[in-house]
Every structure is written in structure tokens, then in C-alpha cells.
A = this chain, B = another copy of it.
């Protein structure tokens, strides 16, 4: 019997993304899967039901999830949603597992085999499944679009008959995937861009995008720079000098975009009220870490607020604000993940608990919390 996949319509009103695209529906059909798609699943991403149907999906209701061997979602299903699921069904989503023991226990209790896409290992084979990376990339782009939209001035230098409008000064804090895309987008728009990162080795990447790296470049920095990768933590003295330099630098910026996230921990505070106050009236700040407590003092989830004369953008789910692209990439990530679970010979899904990717992402199975890092949730069962 063919494997049946169910693509859910997200229950959360704040989640416009969907876990399948026209392309992945076609490709799942190509693998011989039956694809059930909950009516309206693509609405938030502007993919009409009719288009999904044409791609080969059968349009169904939420209760039909019970027919599925695999459930594809963006967000972790609620207990109510899981009531419809078949026992033993694979559920693949962003499970938001940190500090959520009760929710993980609920997944176990529902008897589903839950995979948390956030937990993918950083290995080459998993790159094309890396949802954090694909979504952060779009979030970094959208952060700049939102900032430009809030900004009362033009981003590029404009030379007109009436005089010259100077380029906006944009400072990106954190040069990970989101930060690098924010740098690239702000540069595209003609901004004068600088960036910082706790890793001195990030300097080269930042410079390669045409932005200035802001750091105290002393002997300690140079040593850490050549060490590369995730370097050891810098000395307390260095951190203090760096903080002072950053504060001086922020005062001269028109836009600050913060992207500093530490997996499983609250976001570091990077921009204080005093630093916001030092900026020109009408400046804009975007806090991409607002959902994890925020990098900017005063930022509020889901809102644009005025803090000390600076418009602080705290939209949650920034990737969701560019839902069509976000869904296309997310769906592709999930498809690649799913494809990797297929046995080459039987063409059916076969879980290998020793596989590095399965091991890293599988939270629950057969009614139990199986992930070694979440055994505290096993006790919450």
C-alpha cells in the first residue's frame, strides 16, 4: 500500500506558511506517495487549493489526517490536532523543543514519531534539509525590507537636482545566515553597511559582502580571527572594549538590525535603551530575536514600538511575512528530509534510529521520548 502523506493547514493564525509546495507535492507523487492536503492549507502562502489539486494532491478535511502515515506541518501539532493522527504516524515540523517538556511529552503520549527539524545536525548531507538556515535567510532579507518600509528616508544615496540624499547607515549585529542576508539586502538597496559578530572569523564573510566589520582589532582579535570557526570566548577586557566601540558606532547609525540567537537559550541583549537614545530621531531598529527575549531593550513581539525616538520593529515569524518564498523553501527542506528516510530497495519509509539525521531529530517514538537531550521531558510524561 502506498505511503500516505498529510499536509496540514496550520491552526495558528500567526502562521501563514505551509509544509508543502506545488513542486514537493509533485515530487511526493513521483515517489509513489498519496498526498492528502487539508483544504486552505496554502491560503496564507497564496497557493490555491486548485493548484495543489492540479499538482496531484487530494483535498481533504482535518479529520482525514488519520489516513496518513506521515504528517507534514510547520508548527508542532496541538493535542487536539493529534487526536486525528494514526498511532505511529511520522510527524515532521518545527517542534520548538527547548523548554517545552510538556509539549514533547504530549507528542509521546499521542503515540506519534515526532521529528524536530530545528535539531538537524550541521553536516553536509543535512544542509539541503536545514529549515533554520532557509528561513533565517528569508528573515534576514525581510528584516531589511521592513526597515526600509518603516524608514522615513531613502536607503541609497540619491543625487538629484535639488541636492544629495545621503545613503542610510545600516548596522547588522550577528553575521550568521540571517545577518549575512540582511547585509547583502541592505547593500543591494544602497545602504552604507557595517556588521559585527562575536566570532572574529566572521570578518572575512562580512567584508566579502562589501560591509565594514566593526571590532576592536587588537592582538587578541587577530589571534582569534586566524583560529577561525567557533572560536573560544573572548576575554572580559576585550568584551568591554568591544561593547564601548559598538555603543559609539550605534549612535551614528540610521538602522540597526539584530540577529543574535543562541539555540536553546535566551537571546543576548545587544542594544540598550541608552544606545537607542543616542541614535538620530527617526532611526529604525529591527529585532529578529524578539521571540527569544529580544536583542533590543524595549522591543515587543509582534509590534512596532517607539523606544527613545527609535522605531523598534519586533515582528515575530519574520520568514512568515514572506510566506510564499518561505513555504517553498521549507517544503523543499521537508521533502529532502522525507526522501532521506526512504529505503532504496523497498521504496518505503524505513527509520534507521542509528542514522545521524534521524538520531538528531527524532524526539518521540512508540509512546516514549527517545531523544537523549530531552529526557527531562520523559519525566514529564
Residues on A facing B (Cβ under 8 Å)? 16, 45-48, 127-130, 133-134, 137-138, 141, 145-146, 148-149, 151-154, 156, 158, 160-163, 165, 185, 188-190, 281-282, 322-325, 328-330, 332-333, 336
A149 lies within 8 A of B146 (CB)? yes
Complex Cα distance, B2 from A347, in Å, reads 90
User: How far apart sit A67 and B322, CA to CA, in the bound complex (Å)?
Assistant: 53
Tell me if A281 and B152 are in contact (CB < 8 A): no
Inter-chain contacts of A324 with B (CB < 8 A): 152-153, 282
Q: Are A332 and B153 in contact (CB under 8 A)?
A: no
Kindly list chain B residues whose C-beta atoms are within 8 Å of the C-beta of A148: 145, 148-149
State the oligomeric state as a number of copies.
2
- Are B154 and A332 neighbours in the complex by a CB distance under 8 Å? no
Candidate in A48, A160, A185, A336 with the most chain B CB atoms within 10 angstroms? A160
6 A/B residue pairs, CB under 8 Å, sorted by A = A127-B161, A133-B161, A141-B156, A156-B185, A185-B189, A282-B324
Report the bound CA distance from A161 to B132 in whole Å. Answer: 12
Q: Which residue of B lies closest to A331 (CB)?
A: B162
Is B152 touching A149 in the complex (CB atoms < 8 A)? no
Contacts of A322 in B (CB 8 A): 151-154
Q: A153-B322, A190-B188 are known contacts. Are A163 and B46 too (CB-CB below 8 A)?
A: no
Q: Which residue of B lies closest to A321 (CB)?
A: B152
Neighbouring B residues of A133 by C-beta, 8 Å: 160-162
Cβ of A328: which chain B residues have Cβ within 8 Å of it?
A: 163, 165
List of B residues within 8 angstroms of A156 by Cβ: 141, 185, 188
In the complex, are the beta carbons of A162 and B325 less than 8 A apart?
A: no
For the complex with contacts A47-B281, A48-B281, 7 further pairs of A-B residues with Cβ separation under 8 Å are: A128-B161, A134-B162, A145-B145, A153-B324, A158-B325, A165-B328, A282-B324
Most B Cβ at <10 Å: residue of A47, A129, A148: A148
Bound together, the chains give a CA A99 to CA B324 distance in angstroms of: 44
Report whether B46 and A162 are in contact in the complex, using a CB–CB cutoff of 8 Å: no
